[in-house]
Amino acid sequence: MFQKIIDFLENFGVWGLFIHSIADAIIFPVPAFFTQVSLSVVNPSSAIWLATAGFIGCLLGTPVGYYIGKVLGKSILYRFLKKEWIDSATNLFKKNGEAAILIGSFTPIPFKVFTILSGSLAFPLWKLIVYAAIGRAIKFYAIGLLFYYYGRAAKGMVHEVSTYIFLIGVPVLIIGLLIKRKYGKKKQEAESGQNVTLDSTPSE
């Protein structure tokens, strides 16, 4: 059934990918990655435009998935997706929500798991959109650039390149997050120390 839906969407080209990307961020269990690759194989010269449509569609669908999670909770995910995906994503979120979203942009776990979980676990929407934009941009445009420069031959490279992006890109992004968090903590401690000093200064 899902394959028939994907085949139907592919008939609409870039608009089909756009719709699939919106649905991918909301509830559709098959990632937009498959439609992007299929359409890029047919017309490699439009691969960058396809990546852009997929990226924008994903960002538009992200808040919708978020509010579904906020209203209905994560229980809705169990009706459509594998339990191990949901449990794995939940564990990631509990450890570090920001890293979970970045990692989720590259893993086989469907992205809607992270948008719905963000809502159900009250993760800030603006942070979800920012980190989703970073992760999904890398994923969509890496595939787009691959097909744009290598044409149909890129089809055989997609999975290998995706693996390299995951192994290199994700650690770099997470290190960046850790540095940002450490800097924020130091800044907070410095401000706290300043406030204590001011409070302890005797008034004349």
**CB-based burial of residue 125 (10 Å sphere; 0-12 exposed, 13-18 middle, 19+ buried)?**
middle
From the number of C-beta atoms within 10 Å of its C-beta (0-12, 13-18, 19+), residue 17 rates as buried
Nearest to residue 31, comparing CAs of 113, 98, 89, 101?
113
pTM for the model? 0.77
pLDDT of residue 167: 62
Q: Which amino acid is at 1?
A: M
In tens digits, the chain (204 residues) has pLDDT values of 778 888 888 999 999 999 999 999 988 888 898 999 999 999 999 999 999 999 999 999 999 999 998 888 877 777 777 787 788 777 777 777 777 787 777 766 778 888 888 888 888 899 889 888 988 898 899 899 999 999 988 888 887 776 666 666 667 666 766 776 677 666 666 666 565 555 555 555
Summarize the chain as % helix, strand, coil (round to 5).
Answer: 85, 0, 15
Which are the contacts of 150, defined by CB distance < 8 A and separation ≥ 6? Answer: 44, 157
Which residues, 6+ apart, have CB-to-CB distance to 122 below 8 Å?
70
Residue 127 CA to its chain's centroid (Å): 11
pLDDT of residue 162: 67
Could you give the CA distance from residue 63 to residue 115 in angstroms, rounded to a whole number? 7
19: Cβ contacts below 8 Å, ≥ 6 apart: 9, 12, 57
